[in-house]
Amino acid sequence: MTIIDALVELQEVDGRIRELELELKDLPRRKALETARLSGVSADLQAAKAGEDYVQDRVKGFEEDAKALREKIQKLKATQAGLKTNKEYQQYSVQIDLVTHDLEATESSQIAAMDDLPSAQAKIANAQAKYDAEKEGVDAFCAEIDERIAAVKAELEEAQKERAEKAKAVNDPKFVLYYERLRTKRWPVVVALTHDGVCDGCHLVQPPSVGQLADANARNGAAGKPQSIVACTMCGRILYR
């Protein structure tokens, strides 16, 4: 195998590693997006619950008011029973009527407030059902993502082992160093020089001398002779024919 062939094989593994690493970065993001969507549905449910709390508080408030009014009436009646004169008795009757009127109004308000409960509770039930359905979907999606993360990690581990083998096969430190340096800045590093003499990486037309060097390199490789680095004059990628 020529050094260029070995380098191309190494690059193929590196390409897979790059894709797997990208996917590994992207997967948690997709999971976070789904979870964020669920928290929106959860907020609707919280709002529905707060709505019911509000109605319950109103009902309770009227109930307490009514209880206080009933106690007041009891006290007034008890006092009235011990009164000596008709005039005083009638004054108390007027007061008792007023408070009784208040009590009736309060009880009406309580009943009206209670009428709001069923719709408030229906809203909770709706929101809860929506949340449950969404959560089921999101949980399943997240479980799939977790499975994929585990699979990608395993694939990555395999690819790293393969890479170590392929890197060993490139037994020219000059080529390895050149490749490793360029790998983070230009991808792919090793590209074909087309028949028209164009770099397949940056598409710049190369001077004829580059084409001649690439052809000589190919001949040397075929003859089992050492190959040299032929680089694009623009992007520095390793060119081969």
Using CB under 5 A, list all residues that contact Zn ion.
199, 201-202, 232, 234-235, 237
Residue 201 or 211: the one with the smaller Cβ distance to Zn ion is: 201
Give the nearest distance from C-beta 162 to Zn ion in angstroms.
Answer: 27
Residue 87 or 195: the one with the smaller Cβ distance to Zn ion is: 195
Distances from the Cα of 152 to the Cα of 13, 138, 157, 163, angstroms? 14, 21, 8, 16
Residue 201 or 221: the one with the smaller Cβ distance to Zn ion is: 201
Residue 51 or 188: the one with the smaller Cβ distance to Zn ion is: 188
Residue 62 or 179: the one with the smaller Cβ distance to Zn ion is: 179
Give the nearest distance from C-beta 153 to Zn ion in angstroms.
Answer: 34
Give the nearest distance from C-beta 42 to Zn ion in angstroms.
Answer: 52
Give the nearest distance from C-beta 136 to Zn ion in angstroms.
Answer: 51
Give the nearest distance from C-beta 206 to Zn ion in angstroms.
Answer: 8
Q: How far apart are CA 29 and CA 84, in angstroms?
A: 84
Q: Do 39 and 199 touch, CB atoms closer than 8 A?
A: no
Q: Report which residue type is found at 102.
A: D
Q: What is the DSSP string of 127-189?
A: HHHHHHHHHHHHHHHHHHHHHHHHHHHHHHHHHHHHHHHHHHH---HHHHHHHHHHHTTSSSS
In terms of phi and psi (left: phi > 0; alpha: psi -120 to 50; beta: otherwise), the region of 5 is: alpha
Q: How far apart are CA 112 and CA 126, in angstroms?
A: 23
